[in-house]
Amino acid sequence: MPELPEVETIRRQLAPHLHGRLLRALSVLDPRWCSPAPPAALADAVEGREVVGVHRRGKYLVLALEEEVALVMHLRMTGTLLLVAAAQDTSERPHVRVRMCLDGATSPGGKAGAGDRLLFCDPRRFGTGVVLLGDETLEDYFAARLGVEPLGPDFTADALRALARGRRAPVKAFLLSQERIAGVGNIYADEALWRARIHPLRAVGTLRPSQIAELRDAVVATLEAGIDARGATIDDFRHPDGARGSFQDRFLVHRREGEPCPRCATPIRKLRAAGRGTYVCERCQSRPRRRRAATGGAARAIKPPAAR
Ligand SMILES: [Zn+2]
């Protein structure tokens, strides 16, 4: 499933090709993509407008059009955006759910016609699109769905500590909740927790300030490494030109069950956290101790700490 680095990779590749071009036609071939809005309403709102920006927020990709019209897309499980020449846009191409036709050259000095079609392809059909009118509507849309942007200036250790305070949720589930931190999914959560030496089942509210600071840095470093590798291609993720990401070759723990931990060589274990397959080194990331009954806790509290 595409996460922040995969969507950012798409954004970076599309932006120079789409900027300044006219979105001539939008054909939604599968109405589920924009349900409950009818496909014709989307076409009416966007057709004939120039692309003025290609943005990302969390895992959403935003095509900003003239007069504050925004086409907001989410790839979900298996969505991809392919930029192809009209001649390559044939009926044999599978899983095309939305077709966008563009006018004008693809980039300054680029050949006219080289990237005239932007196709939203999606075998499992969970991807979505919505048109929002006005920048305020766009802001409200994201404010209702997404928390802090982890690569933005607001994602500080203090901000993360405030988000975590008092929460009993396991830290992995916390990282995956888009309403708290936008864009982190299963891959990048596992990698960040390993870097920060934090067990995924640890209650996020019990992390020490130093651990919170390490987690913040680990999330940023992991996402940046993902972008640097142009995302991870495990199943369907492709760049707009059809190429694959390479971050899957750099995984430190994710999908490496039984292989040695890169830090201590302990075999990596797979367990379940937040309903997802989760990979840990239980030597580097020590498992949270079970809560004792009140008496047991009290008995432990009066024992002097072991000398080190
Ligand atoms: Zn280890």
Across the chain, which has 308 residues, the per-10-residue mean pLDDT values are 96 96 97 98 98 98 98 96 91 93 72 80 96 98 98 98 97 98 98 98 97 98 98 91 95 97 98 96 93 48 48
d(CA 217, CA 150) in angstroms, rounded, equals 10
* 197 part of the active site: no
* 276 part of the active site: yes
* 3 part of the active site: yes
The rounded Å distance from CA 184 to ligand 1 centre is 22
Catalytically annotated residue among 11, 59, 202, 238: 59
Task: Determine the pLDDT at residue 263.
Answer: 98
Catalytically annotated residue among 2, 39, 150, 200: 2
The rounded Å distance from CA 208 to ligand 1 centre is 20
Coil, helix or strand at residue 86: helix
Enter the DSSP assignment of 202: S
The rounded Å distance from CA 212 to ligand 1 centre is 19
The rounded Å distance from CA 276 to ligand 1 centre is 21
* 172 part of the active site: no
Task: Determine the pLDDT at residue 235.
Answer: 81
On whether the CB atoms of residues 171 and 206 are closer than 8 A, the answer is no
Phi and psi, residue 263, nearest 5°: -100, -40
Task: Determine the pLDDT at residue 308.
Answer: 46
For 10-21, write each residue's pLDDT tens digit: 999 999 999 999
Element (H, E) at 31: none
Task: Determine the pLDDT at residue 295.
Answer: 44
The rounded Å distance from CA 247 to ligand 1 centre is 20
The rounded Å distance from CA 255 to ligand 1 centre is 15
Task: Determine the pLDDT at residue 104.
Answer: 78
For 143-200, write each residue's pLDDT tens digit: 999 999 999 999 999 999 999 999 999 999 999 999 999 999 999 999 999 999 999 9
- Count other Cβ atoms within 10 Å, centred on residue 308: 3
